Amino acid sequence: MPDIRRLLDQNRLWAEETHRKDPGFFENLSRQQSPRYLWIGCSDSRVPANEITGLRPGEVFVHRNIANVVVHTDLNCLSVLQYAVDVLQVRHVIVCGHYGCGGVKAALERKNVGLADNWLRHVEDVHLKHAQWIDAIEDAEARAERLCEVNAVEQALNVCQTTVVRDAWLRGQELSVHAWAYGLKDGLICDLGIRVSSAAESASAYQRSLGKMGAPAFTPLSP
């Protein structure tokens, strides 16, 4: 199994190299982690949180699933969020979607991919909520890219509406929620203009961000 052995060989080299550059690195990290960021991103192998943001081990807490979806009853995602906010006291929660997302495309095209259809139904819901203006985009690729952006914004809003984040804001904890979209073609992250630091800001930030994308002012707002 040379394909698997390669990973272990590379790991040994990486550990040696990291130790050589910073002899205390692993020793220090093994005692504690104090990341400032929680990353909620897509499972896509082309969007590795640490690598594209230049962050080292210990600097970002990560949750990934297909199409970076935040569902209010997803105990997995909520547990990661709760631990990151309450215990690790991260300062920023970043929902990062990406252009060319296969999950978003499948949801947009109502493609059957198997069990994951049930998961992607959440992205279909996002599409349905905004279908009127998203479907008016003529170019199919542009339409899918827009849904990638809108999905990231909607999922960031879902983060804002969790009990975890609401309670953190209520007790005055410093915490910002962001929505980004990563470009597979150029490796660049686009800030979608959501930077919410309190419950009061979330509706206006949401509306402003979608407005810049071309959503009509009457786009229904979540409370």
Angstrom distances, CA of residue 118 to CA of 29, 122, 149, 157: 38, 8, 21, 21
Which residue from 39, 44, 61, 180 is in contact with Co ion, where contact means CB under 5 A?
44
Instruction: Give just the sign of the alpha carbon dihedral 17, 18, 24, 27.
Output: negative
**Number of alpha carbons in the 13 Å side-chain half-sphere of residue 131:** 9
Least gap, CB of 147 to Co ion (angstroms): 11
Pick between residue 105 and residue 168 the one whose CB is nearest to Co ion.
105
Any contact of residue 145 with Co ion (CB under 5 A)? Answer: no
For residues 51 and 179, what is the distance between their CA atoms, to the nearest angstrom? 18
Least gap, CB of 53 to Co ion (angstroms): 17
- Positions marked catalytic: 42, 44, 46, 98, 101
* 86: phi then psi, degrees, rounded to nearest 5: -80, -40
Q: Choose the stretch contacting Co ion; rule: CB under 5 A; options: 37-45, 53-61, 82-90, 207-215.
A: 37-45
Least gap, CB of 134 to Co ion (angstroms): 17
Which residue from 38, 84, 85, 101 is in contact with Co ion, where contact means CB under 5 A?
101
Any contact of residue 42 with Co ion (CB under 5 A)? Answer: yes
Pairing label, strands 189-196, 176-182: antiparallel
**Interacting residue ranges for Co ion, rule: CB under 5 A:** 42, 44, 101, 103
